[in-house]
């Protein structure tokens, strides 16, 4: 399990280093999703630092849509984004493995990721590494 305190600290550190501001956290407490998010706001956009719950893997993505008035939460695959300064800061300071959009949008090789359950692979049939690692599977 990932230490939530370390994840939060990492988000605050990289936000400060890259000129952003942490605007919130979405901590996965239920069955889904299988990742936490730290939302970092910049003058032109907000991005999510996604962290898998069970391993120390990070990615930068568009924040999924959440409508608190209706309770709607987007549950499709994450859209991974290039944020070179943020990715570099995460790689230098976090102690987590940071994956790029090119890696995450590439094919999923089950042999390279044995921590993804074989039963989930068989049932959900992830098409990309990002879908296998960051998902809303139950």
pLDDT tens digit sequence for 87-134: 999 999 988 999 999 999 999 999 999 999 999 999 999 999 999 999
Does 66 have pLDDT greater than 70? Answer: no
User: By three-state DSSP, how is residue 10 classified?
Assistant: helix
Cα angle value 40/42/48 (rounded, 5°): 30
Half-sphere exposure (Cβ direction) of 59: Cα atoms closer than 13 Å: 27
Is residue 74 within 8 Å of residue 32, measured between CB atoms? no
pTM of the model: 0.91
Q: What are phi and psi of 25, to 5 degrees?
A: -130, 145
Q: What are phi and psi of 73, to 5 degrees?
A: -130, 125
pLDDT at 105: 97
pLDDT range class, residue 6, cuts 50, 70, 90: very high
Does 64 have pLDDT greater than 90? Answer: no
pLDDT range class, residue 31, cuts 50, 70, 90: confident
Q: What are phi and psi of 23, to 5 degrees?
A: -110, -5
Mean pLDDT of 78-83: 95
**C-alpha to C-alpha distance for 137 and 53, rounded to whole angstroms:** 13
Number of neighbours of residue 94 by Cβ within 10 angstroms? 20
120: its two tokens: 């989930």
């Amino acid at each position: 399990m990932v230490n939530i305190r370390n994840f939060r600290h990492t988000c605050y550190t990289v936000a400060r280093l890259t000129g952003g501001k942490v605007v919130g956290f979405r901590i996965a407490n239920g069955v889904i999703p299988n990742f936490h998010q730290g939302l970092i706001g910049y003058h032109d956009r907000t991005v999510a630092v996604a962290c898998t719950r069970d391993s120390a893997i990070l990615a930068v993505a568009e924040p999924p849509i959440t409508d608190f008035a209706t309770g709607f939460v987007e549950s499709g695959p994450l859209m991974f984004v290039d944020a070179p300064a943020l990715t570099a800061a995460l790689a230098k300071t976090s102690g987590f493995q940071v994956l790029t959009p090119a890696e995450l949008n590439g094919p999923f090789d089950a042999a390279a990721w044995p921590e993804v359950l074989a039963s989930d692979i068989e049932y959900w049939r992830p098409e990309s590494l990002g879908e296998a690692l960051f998902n809303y599977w139950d």
